[in-house]
Structure 1
Amino acid sequence: IRDCEKVCNQIHLPVQSGSTNILRKMNRSYTREQYLELVRNIKREIPNVALTTDIIVGFPGETEEDFLDTLNLVKEVEYDSAFTFIYSRRKYTPADKMEDQIDDAIKHDRFNRLVQVVNEISAKKNMEYQDKVVKVLVEGKSKNDETKLSGRTETGKLVNFTGNEDSIGKIIEVKITQALTFSLNGEAI
Structure 2
Amino acid sequence: MDNDVLAFRFTETLAERFGDRVERLPTPERFGQWLEANGLRFDEAVPTRAELRAAQALREVVYRVGATVAQRGAPDPVDVEALNAASRRGRAYVELRDGVAALVSGGRRPVIDALGVIAQDAIGSVAGAFAELVSVCADPSCRGLFLDMSPATNRRWCSMNTCGNRAKKAAMAERRQLAER
Whether TM-score is above 0.5 comes out as no
Greater fraction of residues in strand: 1
TM-score by length of 1: 0.27
Q: Which has the higher contact order (CA 8 A, sep 6+)?
A: 2
Q: Which has the higher helix share?
A: 2
TM-score w.r.t. structure 2 length? 0.28
* Rg comparison, structure with higher value: 1
